[in-house]
Structure 1
């Protein structure tokens, strides 16, 4: 039976080999790499990524990374390309082909068609003297001295190097395009980042009749009825112009009861929290969350640009929307 120490020794050896491959890759981020970036920036169509086997998996990831960071891209399986999918590649597109050997038959079979269309071909290989490297407009060397596999067979260090080279391209392009976190969120509207960067308070807040609101002369008893009906654990206290005077929450209720206040005879403006923290409708929902967390509160009143009450929001609304 293999001992734990042997598992760990082999695992560390793999990591060390792949680290060495990445270290060697740094010196190849040079003028040729910059040429590849300029070619991709100048592309008027889409970036089409090709790769077979493990290189295909890396290619699929590269295409996804490019697409989500501002460079329209998609992956085409080379085997399918020669049976019709080549029609997905159009004038103005740019090709990135990944092959460690540079002699992948399914890719090299497509080279004449790519050349006929006059498309830029960026090859990422581990063999600068290969057929693919020679046919490429730009060749990026992702070669490694050794695979991490002790048999020297399974692609390991070579796929790590290709992955890093692809990521380097994607991030260099992201920066050159001035791609922002908000741009990223627009590409990921279903993700948590997208929700945090795109959702605004006005998208989540309670409005109209759903807002718990009372006038300052309202008794505590009636204010409690309003809180119960609206179910937000609070009520706004406003004047006749809907300017916010204060807020009354479950916490204010507990403090008032501890002091023996008569709920039927006491006006709400004598027990409310005056000048409460409010947010504006145009702010991000994430900003409302930050206010709640910073001040350890569970609800906020929402004002419009004129400072009048426009809505109400609580922590449950943010939880349901996935902002938290």
Structure 2
């Protein structure tokens, strides 16, 4: 079975091995919003002669909040009219998208066309927001997520229009255009990012699923910290970006008592104009790094791959590129 998914976190929604029909719902703003009784139908194909012991269905979504109370949007899932999930409520209260994995019996899959439906309960009091739905053979768990991550990384240069202000400030005002590009050659987009520029201004943000927006806080020089929001207004491949040129570095990783040459890194963070004092990030896989820049343009810091201990990390600015 080919990678099977629908990804509403991108606009327009991305699909793999799936034809999609929406009833009583609307797609936009990086998600599908289903009304009570609304349904997402996915028709996908299992090749003739292919058999599966089990499949793993992963639904990333939330039940939108009811004021200050948790959302109420139980969902039902069927495959070829057979029940898989009955009145499941996505946990989390409606604050953040949450991935939920479910086992699908292999005998519900049939050669040829199959139909998966996700339905919000008729008595739902809030909307069911769906960001991504994937289906993988049980022995290839996570395959579709890896495929999606690789495809997303083909356009890793991100541009955001921003606002700052919110609570404790005199309303919202336009902020700077922010560029985001952190490339260690690992085909991962950022999940969190913070930086300080040469004027001492601090910024820290967390990205929504699909990097369509971010939310965080900032501190201007001599001012109190305030909220900071960004909306994605463009994304490009590294060789097609119209933005400022990224800084590129030769890099070394420190472990085992010595320094070892690594793949290098390209960085474009912030407005692309002011030099940076420091950058820290965590990618969508959980890898994280933090670096501080010296006056000569190099940096020193640490890096940590998910499931491993921290290692040293240093870089020297390349004069070209």
Q: What interval of TM-score do these two structures reach, taking the shorter chain for normalisation?
A: under 0.3
Q: Rg bigger for which structure?
A: 1
**Larger proportion of strand:** 2
When normalised by structure 1's length, the TM-score is 0.25
TM normalised by structure 2 equals 0.25
Q: Which structure: greater helix fraction?
A: 1
